[in-house]
Amino acid sequence: MLSSISLRHMRVFVAVADHGTFTAAAEVLGLTPSGLTATIRQFEDVAGTPLFDRTTRQVTLSATGARFLPTARRLISEFEEALGDLDALSKGIGGTIRIAAAPSVLTRILPGVISRFVDEHPDARLRLDELNAGEVHEAVARNEADFGIAGEWHALPDIAFSPLFSDRFGVLCRPTHAFATRRAIAWSELADQAFVGLGPESGTRAMMAAPGSWAGGAGGTAGSGGGGAGEVPVDPAEVAASDVLKRAAALGLPEAQMALRRANASERAIERVAKMAKSRQSDAIPNGNGGGAKDGPGSAMIDPVAQLRPIVETSNTLTLAAMVAEGVGITVLPELAARVADLAAPGKLAFVPLCEPIRKRPIGIITRQSRSLSPIARIFLAMVMEQAPKMDLPAAIEWG
């Protein structure tokens, strides 16, 4: 049975591969040559294939052994790392902290904290995963991250969101664009602009469409295909593709499983935006008389976010910045994300806050309610909350 193969077999196998003879490997491991030989034979019997080709003068890896060697090294390394983490965690001095966070948080918030943290806790290790808001929540829910730092997203069981700060939305454009010299821009002014944007899986679109009062506008929803104001059309091809993805994901294909998670996040964002837009339309019709609050009889209040139809859509902020820098169109981003995007095209971008109304993106700490953080993770998180407000960040950020 393959289940009878142990870490001892792995260590002996790697030692023989590294030293080229049973005698040398036995000396390094503190075993007798006969005992080491018996261990290798047992390993080969269970595996059902030779791991070494033996001659009277040397021992070399077989084709199977050569293919398995990297796996054996990885398994030994991961086991030793896990034991080290367990020992460090029991003493409260180290261990690995897995953090999932939005790109702007990883770029602008965490580096300064990590610099101080690694000086004070050299035995700790950090794993940073750059994910969009929905993926951060899901990574924490699946226990793939100890905690996350990202925007508020759809509710998941056992997930808690603790606000850390918020930053305002604004327009990112070229310095030569007419908007670049403005102090503020109304959302309704974006309707006729060439627009590039992040996909709905990023969470940005849903946050832009947060509940609130919109200024009335004129005209229908551009590119809506006859739909009413505020409607978010669903591409039938995407719906059909989701069934294919579900079948592929059920077969265990990692790429399909990731694509399915993104598709589900997109659907939730679209549903959320549609519900908000429908609610605002209902609120805009006073006492059921069929007239808009500002647009006269028979018209509903227009949602400017629903009018934004990207000519280019991407999941990466830096790619978005490159599109804006080349003049493909303008975009809308939270200010911290815009400052990160500016690093990709220094001097080629301008950020102007949006108003009427002011929209803000809440960023917070995402944790599991049923699972306590390790001592070292609690130390790091406390350092984030203590240091981050002191950093040189956009003045419009509001903490707490």
pLDDT digits (tens, 9 = 90+) for 142-174: 989 999 999 887 677 889 999 999 889 999 999
Same domain for 200 and 320, yes or no, is: yes
pLDDT for the residue numbered 43: 93
What is the pTM assigned to this prediction?
Answer: 0.56
CATH of residue 158: 3.40.190.10
Same domain for 159 and 174, yes or no, is: no
3-state helix, strand, coil in the chain (%, to 5): 50, 20, 30
Q: In this structure, is residue 89 part of a structural domain?
A: no
pLDDT for the residue numbered 11: 93
Over residues 24-38, mean pLDDT: 92
What tens digit of pLDDT does each residue of 110-129 get? 999 999 999 988 888 899 99
| Residue 368 bridge partners (DSSP) | 159
Same domain for 107 and 178, yes or no, is: no
Q: In this structure, is residue 45 part of a structural domain?
A: yes
Same domain for 379 and 356, yes or no, is: no
- Domain range holding 7? 2-80
pLDDT bucket at 238, cuts 50 / 70 / 90 = very low
In a 13 Å sphere around the CA of 87, the CA atoms on its Cβ side amount to 7
Percent of the chain beyond pLDDT 70? Answer: 69
Same domain for 111 and 126, yes or no, is: yes
Question: Which of 208, 105, 89 has its CA nearest to residue 148?
Answer: 105
CATH of residue 60: 1.10.10.10
Using CA atoms in the order 81, 87, 90, 91, what is the torsion angle rounded to 10 degrees? -120
Same domain for 104 and 64, yes or no, is: no
Same domain for 109 and 240, yes or no, is: no
Q: In this structure, is residue 88 part of a structural domain?
A: no
Same domain for 331 and 182, yes or no, is: yes
Same domain for 69 and 211, yes or no, is: no
Q: In this structure, is residue 86 part of a structural domain?
A: no
User: 195 — phi, psi (to 5°)?
Assistant: -125, 135
Q: In this structure, is residue 210 part of a structural domain?
A: yes
- Among 84-88, 242-246, 254-258, 261-265, whose mean pLDDT is lowest? 242-246
What tens digit of pLDDT does each residue of 177-235 get? 999 999 999 988 998 899 998 877 666 666 665 554 343 333 333 333 333 333 333 33
Structural domain count of the chain:
3
175 CB burial (10 A radius; 0-12, 13-18, 19+): exposed
| Residue 292 bridge partners (DSSP) | 296
Q: In this structure, is residue 90 part of a structural domain?
A: no
Measured distance CA(76)–CA(85) in Å, rounded: 14
CA 233 from chain centre, in angstroms, equals 25
pLDDT bucket at 265, cuts 50 / 70 / 90 = low
Q: Domain ends where: 31, 56, 80?
A: 80
Same domain for 340 and 376, yes or no, is: no
Same domain for 69 and 9, yes or no, is: yes
Mark out the alpha helices in the chain (DSSP H runs): 7-19, 22-29, 33-47, 63-91, 103-108, 110-120, 133-141, 204-208, 236-250, 254-283, 317-325, 335-344, 375-387
How do strand 59-61 and strand 331-334 relate by DSSP bridges?
unpaired
Q: Domain ends where: 53, 80, 107?
A: 80
Same domain for 357 and 368, yes or no, is: no
Asked whether the beta carbons of 33 and 26 are under 8 A apart, the reply is yes
